[in-house]
A and B are shown apart, each in its own frame.
Chain A
Amino acid sequence: MANTKELQDLTTQVRRDILRMVHKVNSGHPGGSLGCAEFLVALYNEIMDRKDGFDMDGLNEDLFFLSNGHISPVFYSVLAHAGYFPVEELNTFRLIDSRLQGHPTTHEGLPGVRIASGSLGQGMSVALGAAQAKKLNGDKSLVYTLHGDGELQEGQNWEAIMYASAKKVDNLICTIDLNGQQIDGSTDTVLPMGSIEAKFVAFDWEVITIEKGNDIDAILKGMAEAKALTGKGKPVCVLLKTVMGNGVDFMMYTHAWHGKAPSDEQLENALAQNPATLGDY
């Protein structure tokens, strides 16, 4: 079991990876990636019960599906540090002939990725299928997902949310990255969604809110509570309140870095705020 300091150090390194990856190709989505760094580091290194190696079926291990595929930089960095593929391969992000496509895919055979995502709103349905397959297989492990809050504007999510409770898919923990931002602005200016918590409750889900979504201890505590609610007949939703662009002062609290890479000087500034902990790739 890793301690908080180790997870924090890994998060800082993941943050450096994200910044360097998007800077190198002058494209990608740093904001949401930075905001979810603590969560994905904690998920892959502490929360999920994973097997060594990778196979597509993922029998008898916890599975994770990234629905908001544009935060691929954080996903790739966390997968690499978790041992699915060499960390040096992060150097190929978004380059021709790379397994690290702009949005995650199974198509290039990258270990750790079980579904393509990027076109939003599809991940929860896929997770439901994987969760129901686990039940058919007598497999007691869990399925985790991550979704953007803006992504909930896609209608397919609500088909999935309705189905999950109706069919008692209780081996599923869906986390919503509640950063309040999307590409065109804040979610409240683009399309106000009201209370997301009330909506999930109305759809008969268990809902856990993690107020400090960029705090490792708070994430571990909240996810332990979420896990304790599984297996009781209801799907579980975690509302993870994060700050988009977390850890880089000029990227925080704005949608401006949703899909924009830093300049050379901005990268230098951002990296200075996150000194290397495990060594750069």
Chain B
Amino acid sequence: MKTYTYTEKKDTRSGFGAGLAELGRTNPNVVALCADLIGSLKMDEFIKENPERFFQIGIAEANMMGIAAGLTIGGKIPFTGTFANFSTGRVYDQIRQSIAYSDKNVKICASHAGLTLGEDGATHQILEDIGLMKMLPGMTVINTCDYNQTKAATIAIAEYEGPVYLRFGRPSVPIFTPADQKFEIGKAVQLTEGADVTIVATGHLVWEALEASKALYEKGITAEVINIHTIKPLDAKAIIDSVTKTGCIVTAEEHNILGGLGESVARVLATNKPAPQEFVGTKDTFGESGTPAQLMDKYGLNAEAIIKACETVIKRK
């Protein structure tokens, strides 16, 4: 079985910051907006190098989404930066009307998604954002798994014409994808081959899925781990092909099981290849204060939970 190791951990938001800085040097149309969270979003480098292409909006996210929409009229490619909660739920109608329905080329970049935001607690830990964004017609939804992938995705979405929601986070997580990867929107990345169960994971849960697959291998179970960085459009073929081989699937995400990746996968399978599925995600609940590790353990978003879900789903075949 193919195994993955890492030598360094970094936060995915820093991958965004690095990608944005590179875009600042290579694409004169890229502009950035922030609602008073420059440091949290790691936008400093872009701002230092391109002060004229940065817009500090203040604590006014609705205005930020509208200004971003307006900047596209004139050929700019705006990247908005704030926490995931304030990038989606707070400004849903602004995104819906001024960006999605108006088909504006805005990149909504959202950090501190999910429970791993940690101690700030449930007011800031959005677990519904993937659902909100994937329901908007025309919106592309991306949730990256490590620093390298987040950097590559940030650069890739500038080349894509249309609204994008790019979700990443705060904690340091293992860097295990290649620095020179080509990021293809909508293209799943198969990480391991297996015959007994498919694990489709997104974001911070991808590494946990790899850890789970190692432990399962020692128990004589081979798991096919697929990194779904793009939740919409979903790579249905990769999912169907894998489940055709393994006969069952576990989905894993740092998000409510209602409205997230798992439900999108279930729809694909129900209409193409019905198969037993188990869902690793938060169970229709808000989060709470705690360290990221404590929260991921308490809410069952880790390798251990994925292993249990795999064992359960294999029995249901």
Residues on A close to B: CB < 8 A? 56-59, 63, 65, 105-107, 114-119, 122-134, 136-137, 139, 155-156, 159-160, 162-163, 166-167
Least CB distance, B228 to chain A, in whole angstroms: 29
Q: Which chain A residues border B96 with CB–CB below 8 Å? A: 119
Q: Look across to chain B and name the residue whose beta carbon is closest to the beta carbon of A163.
A: B63
> Is B73 a contact partner of A56 (Cβ separation < 8 A)?
yes
Residues of A with C-beta under 8 A to B75: 57, 59, 133, 137
B184 at the interface (CB under 8 A from A): no
Give me the interface of B with A, judged by CB distance under 8 Å: 31, 52-53, 55, 57-58, 60, 62-76, 78, 93-94, 96-98, 101-104
Give Cα distance in the complex from A58 to B94, angstroms. Answer: 22
**Given known contacts A125-B66, A129-B73, A156-B63, what 4 new A-B pairs fall within 8 Å (CB)?**
A116-B97, A122-B97, A139-B74, A156-B66
Q: How far is the CA of A182 from the CA of B145 in the complex (A)?
A: 49
Q: Which residue of B lies closest to A114 (CB)?
A: B73
B102 near A106: Cβ-Cβ < 8 Å:
yes
Q: Do B60 and A163 touch (CB < 8 A)?
A: yes
Which residues on A sit within 8 Å (CB–CB) of B66?
Answer: 122-126, 128-129, 156, 160
B103–A133 CB distance below 8 A: no
Closest to A67 in B: B66
Contact between chains at A58 and B98 (CB < 8 Å): no
Q: Complex: how many Å from CA A237 to CA B104?
A: 27
Partner of B97, one of A57, A118, A133, A134: A118
Q: If A118-B97, A133-B75 touch, does A126 touch B58 (CB 8 Å cutoff)?
A: no
* Residues of A close to B94: CB separation below 8 A: 122, 125, 156
Cα of A59 to Cα of B76 in the assembled complex, Å:
12
Closest to B96 in A: A119
The complex places the Cα of A130 from the Cα of B98 at a distance, in Å, of: 13
27 A-B residue pairs with Cβ-Cβ distance under 8 Å, sorted by A, are A57-B74, A59-B74, A65-B70, A106-B102, A107-B102, A115-B69, A115-B98, A119-B96, A119-B97, A122-B66, A122-B97, A123-B66, A126-B66, A126-B67, A126-B69, A128-B63, A129-B66, A131-B70, A132-B55, A132-B70, A133-B72, A134-B74, A156-B94, A160-B66, A162-B60, A163-B58, A163-B63
What chain B residues lie within 8 Å of A105 (beta carbons)?
Answer: 101-102
Please state if B98 and A132 are interface contacts (CB–CB under 8 Å). no
Residue of A nearest to B63 (CB): A159
Inter-chain CA distance A117–B97, complex, in Å, is 7
Q: B74 and A126: CB pair below 8 A?
A: no
Known A-B contacts A116-B97, A129-B78; A136 and B63 likewise in contact (beta carbons under 8 Å): no
Inter-chain CA distance A137–B74, complex, in Å, is 8
Q: Are B103 and A122 in contact (CB under 8 A)?
A: no
Nearest residue, chain A, Cβ from B106: A129
User: Pick the contact of A136 from B52, B98, B104 — CB < 8 Å?
Assistant: B52
Residue in B58, B62, B67, B101 whose CB lies within 8 Å of A132: B67
Residue of B63, B76, B101 near A160 (CB, 8 A) is B63
